[in-house]
Structure 1
Amino acid sequence: MAAQSTNAPPSGTMVAYRLVPGKTEPQRTVVPIPTPAADEVLIKVLAAGVCHSDVHVLEASATQPIIPGSFILGHEGAGIVVSHGEGLNPAHARRLAVGMYVAICLTNACDRPECDACSRGLANVCFESLMIGLGMDGCWAEYVKARASTVVPVPGNNPQDPRLTPGIVAAATDAVMSPYHALKTAGEVKPGQTVVIIGCGGLGINAIQIAKNILRAGTVVAVDLRADNLAIAREVGADHAVTPDALLAMVTGRNLRVDVVLDLVGVQSTVDAATGIVRVGGIVVLLGLGAPTVAISPLPSTMKQLTIKASFGGNCKDLQECLDAIAQGKIRPQVEARPMDECSHVIHGLAEGKIRARVALIPQFPKQ
């Protein structure tokens, strides 16, 4: 079980990796341990994920910053609650007791009734507040503070659970939650349907398991350029696994009627493939951000009466459902743990395509 502690916030300093404008490498700094505000909890970070969004933010820093200012990186985090902000709502204080093992939802919704997004069930795209690790201080540090409403308890409250290690829980906050929301909410996948997943990296391998094991798709097709990724896709449940150039022939040859396509790449060729293979009245969900712009051909899209949707992140309910599914063995995320001091090497490896699995950074620093 997660260790208990008092509600006294720790004092002193901590190591943290920051984005600094003009720098394309995360900068190792020593900063004060943050003090949680009245609506926040302080979390001792056990693991923090790395994703291509971090690569893009750092690469753009020297030329055309995506997010202004300097902040601690890391939008995927898992850890232990170590203190509450003074005056924290009693319901949150009970739900997130000191010592609780938790995950942090990357989408930092305001939850105000007057919010156009939150009031319509679109909390995942509420940007009234900066996102953790993408504008506000994140999880590439020894401690992070987060609004209590964005923190989700991990089933079983046990960081030693092999199904719910800190690295897996950190990855769940994006690499599992994002494809889960995309397939369930945007794609509206129904039992028995045929689903195509384009892009079988960290998110795609999870998406296959979500479609097959949770949403009960009848047939799942995995598409990727790399043979090793396709082999993993088959291992986790894909019924068919093909390269992009073989996709159309396989779909037509097997007379598959594709109901939903999830594009996790987001470049022109994958969008064209998605709209080309989906059936009349089908759904294409865009989640990948590989190109700044893509074009949709109006004539074939209208003649097939396609629904083309975009999806972003997820909400706390999505995250809780993902953690429950992982606890039940329905999703088995592939995560590699690295010391947090190796974050620059991980960023370069992702940028160069040398890292295939999701990576979780583990804070392992000498005592200050």
Structure 2
Amino acid sequence: MSGPLVSVVIPTYNRAALVCEAIDTVLAQTYQNTEIIVIDDGSTDDTTAAVQKYGDRIRYTRRPNAGVNAARNLGIKQARGEYLALLDSDDLWAPYKLELQVALLRYFNDVGFTFSNFLIFKGPTPESDILPITDGLSTWLDHVPGRIEPYRWERSFASIKGMPELQLPTQDFMVSGGDIYAPSLVCPYVLPSASLIRKSALGQLRLPEIIATCGDWEFFARFSKQSGCVYTNISTTYNRSHEDAVRLTRGDPGVRLGRRIAMIDRVWRADKEFYAKLGDKVDEVQRGLLLQAARRDLLSARRGQARAYLKRAASIDTERKSIQESVLRLLASIPGSGWGLRGMRATLNGARELAARVSQQ
């Protein structure tokens, strides 16, 4: 299939074997007009030797470790393509991924990016997983209360006239268009590996390098406001569920909460026009996160930080006081309360486990 050049940017760090699997799925695409840019973010394993087997089929750059978003941005700077695809080194693509998404961006030429659902698998390959999660996006969205509807329109892919004939496993999926800026206040929507970006729509926008765990979340929220997007509920990407040494989700949950609170300040609270319309929602979401962070700090015996979070929560809404918040304030004022709170939690967890065992007998 001829068409515009797609630049595939693969940041990697100490994943010599996995990055080769990711590269192989790019080379196996039904859409072949690609360049593959691998940014080695200071690996200390044998990544350099592992990727040498691909020769001039990839462009390989090794740089001092600066984080995944800095590596992505360097790859974007090097990219020569009309479209950009971000592929994490532990993810894989279905063979039709680029063919479908290039067709979507060529058809919907007024949006900046498209993204899809994804499949989550454990084990060495998607095929080896007996029970893969076929609707990966639901694992992010379904448990989140108060979500905001992101899409202005929805239609079946088969009903779209003028699409080229594509090598897809099915035509039975939905295509939706809209803006995920407001919904992203509540939860992330885009797995970077499942997206395709129109490079000309980026302007000066890049991934924020100061943060890792929320960087792509913030990037796609801002990009959506800037240019709009198209979503397909067919899975084009396989997201590997594992806990290797460099996976970002291994980080301290308290730190991740703090980064999310800061992201809300930086994006939605700082957006005066948005805050004038949906300030109550911004306050509600951020206040909930502040109380979560306070509770976590109390459990970790960080009373000072817990008090700071509780003070910030009170300043956002002075009238709304829950029983939970009152209890947290009381515990934050008592030395050693964190130990007692952890003991109470352990007792409750033990009671639940005992009740579950009894019910099974």
Shorter-chain TM-score range: under 0.3
TM-score of the superposed pair, with normalisation by structure 1: 0.27
Higher helix share: 2
Larger radius of gyration: 2
Q: Which has the higher contact order (CA 8 A, sep 6+)?
A: 1
TM-score of the superposed pair, with normalisation by structure 2: 0.27
